[in-house]
Structure 1
Amino acid sequence: MRGIREKILPPGGHSFRLIKWDRSLDEVESVIAPDRSIRIAGSGNRWHFHTEMELTLFLRGQGTKFVGDHIGPFADGDLVLLGERLPHYWHTKGPSEGISVQFHFPQDHPFWGFPENSPAERLFQLAGHGMSISGKTAQVISSLMQELAKNAGAAQLGILLIILARLSEAPARDLKRLSERGFNLPNESPYQDAMARAVRHLVANFREEIKLEDLLSLTRMTRPTFARQFKKHSGHSYSGFLNRLRVQAACRELENSERGILDISLACGFPHVSFFNRLFRREMKCNPTEYRLKSRSRKKGRK
């Protein structure tokens, strides 16, 4: 597997990169102009990070998003702002479609030479934890992002500046922090590939029994080194990461199936329903039955 740091190169004549996809995060296109795009390798389907900030809109699709130490579901309309060097990964269930804009405006960038952009400084700081954008702000930003692909040159840059201005002015209720801790991973590290392999293995096999020895063998690391590096790169111990994966899978089952609590806990990798119930209450602030009732009530309210 390639290293988890993605190197992003804006196309010639551009100060940022706009990418889109209509089926899979493996198959993305870099938008050069409204009628021209180039196929490039996608990285969103694996755990990675990059120096650039990123604003990602899922027009269609669902699955699990990993942003720093946050693990949670995403669906159509999900809009997330990512800060620099913040590890992330979109584990999609089936086809997806979306748009991402990636940009890097460090303190010495001409962007900050315009005093009108100073409110964005606070926004960029908050983005270090990742932010989920909702409400009216999400509606406005989603529309503007789709306009990005229809424009070129200064007009396209102007839309990006409007997007950043709208985000900087957004009410706090429309911005939700995702990761509890901030991340600032080094550009190069001998542990990057190993951590990416470990994360992918956990995501692919969380329903089965996973032993620490399996991960040590996969990463070729000692127990102390693995524990230290996994915590540094994901924000969790491996067992904590695994349990969060399982709880999120249980949430989806509770929302979308009629299976009993015992069956769901076993299917999601929990050998003991009592442990599942305790962990679920700790993570979701309610028991599984209450979560099922609340989720169905929300669905009825949206109809």
Structure 2
Amino acid sequence: MSIKKPKPVIEYRNYYLPSSFPVLLLTGDNWKISDVKSEHLHFHNCLEVGICHSRSGILEFCNAMTMPFSEGDVTCIPRNIPHTTYSAPCTKSRWSYLFFDPRQLFRDMLPPDFSYSMICDDVHKYLIPAGLSRRIPLLADAAVEELSAEEPDRMLAKSYLFALYMEIIRFQNPEMHNIQSENTPPWQNPPCFGNNSMNITPALDFIEDNYMNKFPVDRLAELCHMSPTHFRRCFQSVMHTTPLTYLNTIRIMNACNLLRNTNHTILTISVMTGFSTLSNFNRLFNQMMKVPPKEYRMQTLRGRKPGEIPSIIEYAGWLEPDESPHMGNQE
């Protein structure tokens, strides 16, 4: 009798991005990636741009789709794309990571009808080998250098990130590149995904863009070209929770951001994040964050360190990252 292979676990990692400047930089000599492959893929709530400073290794997506990386390569992985990274055996590659939300960061720089969508079914576009683009690594390094300064100039950093983002969009546009030749490495051929974790990406994107509004689950199923029943089954399989619970999670995360970075009343925040009643907001917030909204805000004002504030991923059904975001060894 054959033993059924367990399904891979998809881990959700949320990074708090301040509403005033939705950017997070992870860099330094301590930010090295282990050669031990993680037992599960993960995805983020924002765009991830990584710069490999040394060594080499493997970038892996669902369905065991892998791509080798080496020193000088840049990765640009959109939100909600499951992946993991590990170094070559007996080595630790060093990286810098930029996490940012283009929709919030560039909303005053782009027209209202601008499409922020990035490629979701051609993952070889998520790795830019050294030498393939001259501008992307230069802009990424400039953004990291500015954000690492003792007193960074946010406007200058924002300009670097904007130019970087537009160059990535250009790189991912297939009309900007020649048709692949027969000499193209096999890992660069667009894969055909049959994994549910990629199939539900349009729903995850829609939820993050429209969490403040009311919409039926059928709308999410339609975006993923599935029947409502099949969509719920796929969503549960990948996320280990229901679409409604995930929607409320996104709402609470955004409420946390508003509580930490604005003076809005708790009632106003509950409305801004899509809750129909204050009592429902308070109940779900306390359930997920283990403290009421008022206490959460007071903890922030008292200057507690980020690691001491209850994390959204601590509630039942989600997994902790392998290590702290500031000292982690797997990405």
| Fold shared per TM-score above 0.5 | no
Query: RCO greater where, 1 or 2, for CA within 8 Å and sep 6 or more?
Result: 2
Q: TM-score, normalised by structure 1?
A: 0.44
Greater fraction of residues in strand: 1
Greater fraction of residues in helix: 1
